[in-house]
Amino acid sequence: MAQSTESTNNDWNEITRQNGVVFYVKRAYCDVIKGQKPLYYSFMKIVNTTGENYQLSFNFGLQYEEGCSGCEDFTEHHVTMILTPNQIIEGECDFKNVGLTRLIVNPNLSGGWKFQQEVITNLDIK
| Domain map (residue ranges) of the chain | 3-125
Indicate if the pLDDT at residue 48 is higher than 50. Answer: yes
Residue 61's pLDDT is what? 96
Average pLDDT, the chain: 91
Count the helices and strands in the chain (H runs, E runs): 0, 10
Label residue 8 by pLDDT band (50, 70, 90).
very low
What mean pLDDT is predicted for residues 91-118? 93
Label residue 10 by pLDDT band (50, 70, 90).
low
What mean pLDDT is predicted for residues 90-118? 93
Kindly indicate whether the domain formed by 3-125 is annotated with CATH number 2.60.40: yes
- pTM for the full predicted model: 0.88
What SS3 state is found at 11? Answer: coil
Indicate if the pLDDT at residue 2 is higher than 70. Answer: no
Specify whether the CB–CB gap between 64 and 115 falls below 8 A.
yes
